[in-house]
Structure 1
């Protein structure tokens, strides 16, 4: 009876160790895929920006046109307050969560509420519903296609003039996707480090 119980405990222990190793390998695979996708997306964004600058002119696509006035951030990063010893931290990207200065000063509450459109991309904890690697390869964006989001994007490009090159709009989309990927990569990296720590503990326990 005692031998049977010890055998069951050892089996459970080995299964737990295997689970930790599989989690580590899965996180590593997802991390590498996302890094490759990020590199491709950034490369595409820079090429589109160069094309837009060529067609519109260097004077119209220049950092001197940036709005350097103080304004509310339209994109924020949230971090869940969790016990890192139990589970990895969770990073969430919230996009278009604040309206610009003119709308804030006008106090138009209804319009401000319409502007709220947080984009919360899936994290490694929800890979069963939609794998991160699949979203990265397809280029799908969790940004809502609602009209107010498109208006917010257009306002950001208005500094470059009324009529902007389609390549400039494509540039905006590419770098937007890159920002989403960076948050996904942060989540995967946190999961990777957490899984690595678990594997290290298993190795020490085995010794």
Structure 2
């Protein structure tokens, strides 16, 4: 009898351990699935926001062309010579999140400081991803004024403004305010594209995690 009771206890212990492992595996699978749904929702939201930004940008560009004249705002005014890119995208591998995925950061107007800032903002946005997160406005300020507390001068912002004015100088000295607004709209849309690339990278990596868990079960 004692041997039979001992065997029953061992079997119950094994069953309990298996149930615990199954519950833990299901919990991890559910967590990956929720992350995938969150990243998919974020990706679709960002795509919708990008569409709104582009529509607004084209509308403002059309308004500028109407006020300045078609001869001044046309592709014939663009400088088609080879020159260095004012804005570029830097790609690296994100290993801090525990999931291998590509991380994209925007370098605006050739500033390496903007790359570091872009990485920080992208990482913060990825960590605070929520299913019901909605942006209150599709447009955000392209540059933020530095506060006196952090000691950062406004030189960077002034340089960006000079670069923006320089890029619009091909259309003449005096340009329509609508043209400047259109420039900001397309610049913001470019930032949104990088956010979309990061959201898609997160979505694909979490999808792979879900598939791996399903294959293990």
Task: State the TM-score bracket (shorter-chain normalisation).
Answer: 0.7 to 0.9
1-side partners of 2:169 and 2:216: how far apart?
60
8 Å Cα contact 1:117-1:149 kept in structure 2:
no
- TM superposition shift of 1:136: 7.5
Correspondence for 2:125: 126
Pair 130,5 (structure 1): closer, same or farther in 2 beyond 3 Å = closer
Which of 91, 110, 113 is 2:104 aligned to? 91
| Structure 2 SS opposite 1:89 | strand
8 Å Cα contact 1:76-1:95 kept in structure 2:
yes
CA deviation map 1:43-94 (0-9, x unaligned):
00000000000000001101111112222211111110468x9421101111
Pair 150,55 (structure 1): closer, same or farther in 2 beyond 3 Å = same
Ranges in structure 1 where 5+ consecutive residues have no aligned partner = 99-114
2-side partners of 1:94 and 1:131: how far apart?
26
**Over the residues paired in the alignment, what is the CA RMSD in angstroms?**
2.6
Moved more, 137-146 or 171-180: 137-146
Correspondence for 2:179: 168
Correspondence for 2:201: 190
| Structure 2 SS opposite 1:77 | strand
Which of 3, 27, 34 is 1:22 aligned to? 34
8 Å Cα contact 1:34-1:136 kept in structure 2:
no
Q: Output the TM-score relative to the length of structure 2.
A: 0.77
- TM superposition shift of 1:5: 2.2
Correspondence for 1:66: 78
The structure with more radius of gyration = 2
Give the length in aligned residue pairs: 189
Which of 139, 158, 175 is 1:147 aligned to? 158
Q: Output the TM-score relative to the length of structure 1.
A: 0.81
CA deviation map 1:124-169 (0-9, x unaligned):
6634458795557352245355111111101100110111101000
